[in-house]
Amino acid sequence: MPELPEVETSRMDLQGFFTGAAVRDCRVLDPRIRVGHPSPPFFRRGQWVGTGIERHGKTLIMGFSQNQEEETEHSGKGEKGFFLLSRFGMSGSWRRVDARLNPPHTHLEIRFSDRTSRLVWVDPRRFGRIEFATVPFSSNLLSRVGPDALSVSASVFEEILRSTSRSLRSALMDQGLLAGIGNIYMAEILFDAGLSPFREGRDLLFREVRVLHASMHSVLRAAIAEGGSTIHSFAREDGRNGGYQKLHLVYGREGQPCPRCGLPVRKVTLEARSLYYCPSCQPPKRSTIRSSSRRDPLEN
Ligand SMILES: [Zn+2]
């Protein structure tokens, strides 16, 4: 499932192509993938241009504005700009393809009047969602998500961790608390920080919060530099795979020696998802009165 580094890779791959491009039309081929009320705006040839692509957590935000010349010529429309948001779900991705090629499972296409390629949204498993919005953070996809994991400050991150009694594993992956991290990077970040996934965020020492914040940023940045991780289906806009899966230290490495201590990496299944960690390098929580009464049965 694409997480922050994969979505950021898509953003960087598409940014140059999309920015400044004259949009000819945008067609939703499968309406089931669309959420929210606003419909795609009516595209008159040459009316809209791509203004750039932003990202928040696992959501990509493509901006469109009216072509200035067109606006003068046909003034009084009242439409200034809109955004196309995409959440990748399990298998969604943007691909840049030639004029008449339609990859299987294409659910949306954007055509341009000054580009020979099109952008298509491909999603075999259809868990991804797209939404048209005039204000991105009032949309269904973004109105209830927390700060972006890559840009959150250390102090806000600490507030988030202190606000919940849930485990670090669960808190880091809760998009309502912090946007962008899923099962893969949660495991890699906690291993990098040397923190047990079962510890509670509110029990961390101040210095442990700072270490975790630094690990989160360094792991995410390293993954972005490698073009993200390709585990099942993630592919870049030209079909290339990411490279960070080769650098995973615990994720997917059950039974293999921990790169730090040599003991086997452990895998447990929680809520139908696999959790990978090193019980030796990520020791159970420090013993406190509060934590002793809610010890996780998986800890040792
Ligand atoms: Zn270890």
Element holding 4 (H helix, E strand): helix 4-18
What's CA 72's distance to the chain center, in Å? 38
Q: How many angstroms is it from 4 CA to the middle of ligand 1?
A: 26
Q: Of 27, 45, 273, 295, which is the active-site residue?
A: 273
Q: How many angstroms is it from 196 CA to the middle of ligand 1?
A: 11
Q: How many angstroms is it from 266 CA to the middle of ligand 1?
A: 10
| Fold of domain 4-138 | N-terminal domain of MutM-like DNA repair proteins (3.20.190)
Mean pLDDT of 13-26: 94
CATH 1.10.8.50: does it fit domain 154-292?
yes
At residue 289, the pLDDT reads: 40
Q: Is 58 a catalytic residue?
A: yes
Q: What is the pTM of this model?
A: 0.89
Q: Is 73 a catalytic residue?
A: no
At residue 100, the pLDDT reads: 77
Q: How many other C-beta atoms can be found within 10 angstroms of the C-beta atom of residue 29?
A: 13
pLDDT in tens, 107-165: 999 999 989 999 999 999 889 999 999 999 999 999 999 999 999 999 999 999 999 99
Residue with tokens 């196309």, as numbered in its chain: 84
Q: Where are the domains of the chain?
A: 4-138, 154-292
Q: How many angstroms is it from 193 CA to the middle of ligand 1?
A: 12
Classify strands 266-270 and 273-277 as parallel, antiparallel or unpaired: antiparallel
Q: How many angstroms is it from 235 CA to the middle of ligand 1?
A: 31
The more confident residue out of 246 and 217 is 217
Q: How many angstroms is it from 249 CA to the middle of ligand 1?
A: 10
**Residue 80 binned pLDDT confidence (cut-offs 50, 70, 90):** confident
Q: Of 11, 24, 55, 58, which is the active-site residue?
A: 58
Q: Is 273 a catalytic residue?
A: yes
d(CA 245, CA 138) in angstroms, rounded, equals 34
Q: How many angstroms is it from 122 CA to the middle of ligand 1?
A: 39
At residue 56, the pLDDT reads: 98
Pinpoint the alpha helices (H) of 167-288: 168-173, 183-193, 206-225
At residue 229, the pLDDT reads: 87
Asked if 4-138 and 154-292 have one fold, the answer is no
